[in-house]
Amino acid sequence: MKNKRRNFLKAGAISAASIPLMGAFSNDQTSDGRYTAIDEACQLPVLRRDFFPDPVIIESCELLHYNGNYMVHVRSKDGAEGYCVGHNIRMPHLYPIQTMLVNPYFIGKDARNLDELIEGVTMFKNNYKYQGYTLWIPIATVEMAILDMLGRIAKKSMGELIGEIHNKEIAIYRANNNRGRSAEESIERIKKQQEETGAKAIKFKIGGRRNIPESPEGRTEKLIPLMRKNFGEGFTIYADCNGSYEAPEAIRIGKILEANNIDLFEQPVPTDYYEDWKQTADALNIPIASGGGEVSIRNFRWLIGNEAVQMVQQDIFYFGGMIRSMKVARMAATKGYVCTPHISGTGLGYIYMMQFVSAIPNAGPYHEFKGLSTEVPFECKTSSLIPEDGILHLPKGIGSGVEIDPEFIAKHKAVSS
C-alpha cells in the first residue's frame, strides 16, 4: 500500500508543469509557499474569449418549467440561444432565487465576460449571503445555458470553450446506493450494474451517511473484503463513505480498505470537518477523494494545499458551474492530483459532466455513469451516450452536444418570480 497514492495519481494525472501558470511555479510547501501555485492556477481565465471578437449581449434570461422539468433559456440581442436543463430535484425549492436574484443580473451583460460575471453575481443584491447549494445551483444553470449559447455562436462544444479537448473517450465506473441491504445482496446488485455497462471500475457505499447508524449493523466490515474477493485484484474499486465518520473511525475503516487493496476512499468525514480530513489523510496511504458537497473554492484551496485529498470531486451544479469547477481542477493539477466531477440531479447532468471532463487534462481514470436519461427528449447524432465496453464517447456537436426536442421545449412556460 505504500505506493498506492503515487500509482493512483499516475494513472489519471498529468504533471503540474503542463498547466500554464501566471508566474513561476513554486515548489515551496512551507506555510508561506504551499498555496502559491494553487492561487496562480485559480486566477487563470477559463472562458476562451478568443472565439468571440464581437460582444454577445444577453437580452433575456428565463427559467422555464413543464411537468417537473426546469430549464434556463438565454438569448442574445443577435438572436443566439442556449439552454440548460436544471437540477430538477432542487429547483422546486430554489426557483425564487433563480428568477429574482440570479437571472436578472445577467441581462444586458456581455457573455464574453463570463468569468467575471460568475464572480459578480455573488455581490448582486448581496447574493453572497446565500452561498451554498441555494445560490450555486441557480448560477450553474445560467452559466451552462450561456456556454451552450456561446458554443452555438462559435460552433464549438462547451468543452472547447473552457479548455483544449483532452478526453474524447471517457471510461466509466458504476456506483450504487445499496445502503440498508446486506453485504451479500449488495454484491449481487453491484455485479448486475457492472455487467450491464462493461465498466472496469465500481464504487460501493459504506457507513451510514453522516451520523445515521449503519444498517444492517456490521455491513461495512463484511462488505469490504467481499468486494475485492468477488471482483478480483485487477478491478478498480472505490469506496464512498458520504461523511459517515469522524477521524478516528474513518482511520480504522480506512485501514480495512487498505488491507483489502481498495483503490479510493471518498468523503470519509463530513464536508466541513476540515481537521478530520487532514488527520485521516495523514494516517492513511489510500487516496482520499473529496465529496460532492464542497461548495467553497477557498476550502478546496485548503484541502489541496494541506494534502487532505488526492482527488477533487466538485459537483458541476452544486459548485456553481464549469468555470468554478475548472479553477479547482487546475488547482488540483498543481499538486499532481486528479479531478473526477461529481454528478447530481436529473436531466442532462451526465452530458454536462462529459463536456467538462473532455477539457481537463488531469481527469481521473474513471467517471460516474448513472444510466441514459429518459426524462428529457433529445437527439445526439454523434454518440449513442451508452457505454461500449465501459467507455462513453464524447458528443461532437456544438454547445452541449445534444439537441433538446423543440416540441418539448415549446411546452414549457416561463416561471415568474
> How does pLDDT run across 265-289, given as a tens digit for each residue?
999 999 999 999 999 999 999 999 9
Which stretches of 109-246 are DSSP H helices? 114-120, 133-154, 158-162, 183-197, 219-231
H or E segment and range at residue 413: strand 413-414
Please name the residues in contact with 161: beta carbons below 8 A apart, sequence gap of 6 or more.
47, 48, 51, 147, 150, 151, 154
Q: Is 49-155+407-414 CATH 3.30.390.10?
A: yes
Q: Which residues sit opposite 311 in a β-bridge?
A: 289, 338
Q: State the Cα–Cα distance between residues 37 and 25, nearest whole angstrom.
A: 6
Q: Is 160-397 CATH 3.20.20.120?
A: yes
6 and 13 Cβ atoms separated by less than 8 Å: no
Q: State the Cα–Cα distance between residues 286 and 262, nearest whole angstrom.
A: 8
Domain segments of the chain as ranges = 49-155+407-414, 160-397
Q: Same fold for the domain at 49-155+407-414 and the one at 160-397?
A: no
Please name the residues in contact with 388: beta carbons below 8 A apart, sequence gap of 6 or more.
198
pTM above 0.85, yes or no: yes
21-43 tens-digit pLDDT: 433 334 444 456 899 999 999 99
The one-character DSSP state at 97 is I
Tell me, what's the pLDDT at 22? 38
Q: Given pLDDT bands bounded at 50, 70 and 90, which one contains residue 417?
A: confident
